[in-house]
Structure 1
Amino acid sequence: MFVNAEQRGVTLVEVLVAVVVLSIGLLGLAQLQMTTLRQTQSALLRSHATLLGYDITDRMRANAAGVLAGHYNQSSVSDKQGDHDCSVVDASGTATNTTPASCTPQELAENDLLEWANTLARELPSGQGIVCLDSTPKDDPPATPGAPGCDNLGTIYVVKVWWNDGYNSSGQPVKRLFVTPFVP
């Protein structure tokens, strides 16, 4: 004989399974959001590094005499930086972006490198950069601020910008490098 026994708690089990599935989905969505934020931050830093690399090349174009004399060729990230007042300020206190007659091409180059280094440090996490003559700009292994890999050969200047782009799984900073050539 068949006894019709009532099952109890089936709906509760179904609800618990649905909550677990929904929770896993929400955790995946949160992970996707975190990855998106990290990639957006990385892209922003890469854009800043690119713009700052082009900033120093524009400064070099404006000081052709300093470039041709080799005043922008650095041997280290802190080389050839001088605090010279090479900006002309109008009556309102706004820089007019012209070079005063008292500023030589060398002083302008040193001032450009100092302002550029300060901007790198301010705009990028652990931002550093170098301008140098380098016949092999794509170094293997990649250059570092301590060993920029500049061979001082040839006539092509290379702008190298480093910054920290987050941390790896062991907590060490991930160093990124942007390289752009500049032909005077």
Structure 2
Amino acid sequence: MSRKNFAKNGHRVLPKRSVHAQEGASLIEVLVAVVLLSFGIVGLAGLQFNGTKFNHSAYLRSQATSLAYDLVDRARANLNACPVGGACAYATPLATAFNGNAAQACGRPIAAANANAMAAIDVNQWKSCLENLLPGARGRVVLLGSAAGYVDQCGITHAAAGRQVLVVEVNWTDGRVAGGANRDCVVIRTEVRPLS
């Protein structure tokens, strides 16, 4: 080793490096790190957005399912409105909306003089709940006959039934549904009088 690499006191001295050799390298590394971090943040924002979108769609679907089962329970509690072999007073077309009667609004206590009047009030209150809890909601109730099948608004074909079977349909507007369709639906099929 040459003598010039040692200081006067005998300790080794490292050669001086040029200050200009590292100039800008740190800045490029910082820029690359910031770009990578920004891509990660944008990706996380996208995940958060999709999570919120799907969570809201699931919430609407659970509301629709709950409302469909609500009407089924009302019909089962009022069996006289759906006599065996007769028309069911709970059957309602899709186009019928809540009639605006404040006494029958969603969540209000109701009472009626007879089974058919109770069924009419139940259906009206159910339509009110649909309109209040789901965006652009509509509902239909069909009593399946024994003669022919039925295709519901979700495209499901229901075979003719030998027993009294109610099909309760709920559809609503969901702008978050993928594929360009903006309506979603729930269909519940159940027997009015379960096997005893």
Does the alignment reach a TM-score above 0.5? yes
Q: Does 1:18 align with 2:33?
A: yes
Tell me the TM-score normalised to structure 2 length.
Answer: 0.69
* CA distance in 2 between partners of 1:168 and 1:58 (Å): 29
Share of identical aligned residues, percent?
33
Describe the SS at the equivalent of 2:174: strand
Describe the SS at the equivalent of 1:78: coil
* CA distance in 2 between partners of 1:80 and 1:126 (Å): 12
Paired letter, 1:105: A
C-alpha contact 1:48 1:123 (8 A) present in aligned 2: yes
C-alpha contact 1:85 1:111 (8 A) present in aligned 2: no
Map of 2:4 onto structure 1:
none
Q: Does 1:158 align with 2:173?
A: no
Q: Name the count of aligned residue pairs.
A: 163
Map of 1:104 onto structure 2:
114
Structure 2, unmatched stretches of 5+, are 1-17
Aligned partner (choices 176, 180, 189) of residue 181 of structure 1 = 189
* CA distance in 2 between partners of 1:61 and 1:30 (Å): 47
Tell me the TM-score normalised to structure 1 length.
Answer: 0.73
Greater gyration radius: 2
1:79 Cα shift? Answer: 7.7
Q: Does 1:129 align with 2:160?
A: no
* CA distance in 2 between partners of 1:82 and 1:109 (Å): 17
Map of 2:52 onto structure 1:
37
Aligned partner (choices 78, 82, 96) of residue 78 of structure 1 = 96
Paired letter, 1:179: V
Give the RMSD, CA atoms, in angstroms: 3.4
* CA distance in 2 between partners of 1:149 and 1:81 (Å): 30
1:80 Cα shift? Answer: 10
